[in-house]
Structure 1
Amino acid sequence: MIKSINNISALKLINEVDNLLILDVRRFSEFKSGKIPNSINIPVDDLEFELDELNEFKEKPILVYCKSGIRSTVACTLLEEEGFSNLYNLRGGILDYTGNIE
């Protein structure tokens, strides 16, 4: 199930959930220019080919984000179709995120 969450909910999730995977689905050049701490980068265009890398997280919470929320919605849909069950889409993407950026 995909839950679309706002910035405040995302910050709470990041601060309170120990086994959270933070997945940035922007291009690598965007990722290098600033990211949510502890996030990993798999661009949405590569995601279907990198699913094996994420298999251990099928049941764990995953926060997915991009620049504005569009690519992360696409990524969440793909992940849900592949059996991932605990997905959070950051509505508004990193543009709306007010937490730490590294």
Structure 2
Amino acid sequence: MEFLQHNWYWAALAAASGTWLMVELVRSRGDDTQLSPVEATLLVNREDAIVIDVREQGEYAQGHIPNARHIPAGEIERRGKEMEKWKDHPVILCCTTGARSNSAAGALRKAGFNRIYNLRGGMMEWQKAGQPVSRKRK
């Protein structure tokens, strides 16, 4: 008890971060369009999912998911015709953290794409999970 009295700020920080983690866990549980790196790999291997990297050219060149196609987020709508052939195919979008790809996923859903997924945590989570990274152009 004495420890908590002298270190109350650490206990408060631990409680706050634990609460934040629980809220995030509960919030993302019902969304089956957000994939972990392992789930994304399984979808690629089992259903031949297409991976689209929506980062800018410099980010893509630094390393991307092997065989990922590069279509920057700002070009998604303009290049819609090019992607028509994937409309009923599983498509996984990724960026650095998952934010840009989540927005791009919304645009593709509005365009009538049926099986759009977002790589939760983006390339940061992909690399943290020890998944392979390529520097080859696709």
Match of 1:99 in 2: 131
2:7 is aligned to: none
Q: How high is the TM-score relative to the length of structure 2?
A: 0.69
Alpha-carbon distance in structure 2 between the residues aligned to 1:60 and 1:14: 11
Q: TM-score, normalised by structure 1?
A: 0.93
Instruction: Tell me the distance in 2 between the aligned counterparts of 1:14 and 1:101.
Output: 15
Q: Tell me which of 24, 35, 42 is aligned to 2:53.
A: 24
Q: Identity across aligned pairs (percent)?
A: 32
Find the counterpart in structure 2 of residue 71 from structure 1: 100
Q: Distance in 2 between matches of 1:89 and 1:14?
A: 13
Give the RMSD, CA atoms, in angstroms.
1.1
Q: Which has the higher strand share?
A: 1
Conserved in 1, the CA contact under 8 Å of 2:44 and 2:50? no
Q: Which residue identity lines up with residue 75 of structure 1 in the other structure?
A: A
The size of the alignment, in residue pairs, is: 100
Unmatched runs of 5 consecutive residues or more in structure 1: none
Q: Indicate the residue corresponding to 1:4 in structure 2.
A: 34
1:88 aligned residue = 117
Displacement of 1:95 in angstroms is 0.4
Higher relative contact order (CA 8 A, sep 6+): 1
Q: Equivalent residue of 1:49, what SS?
A: coil
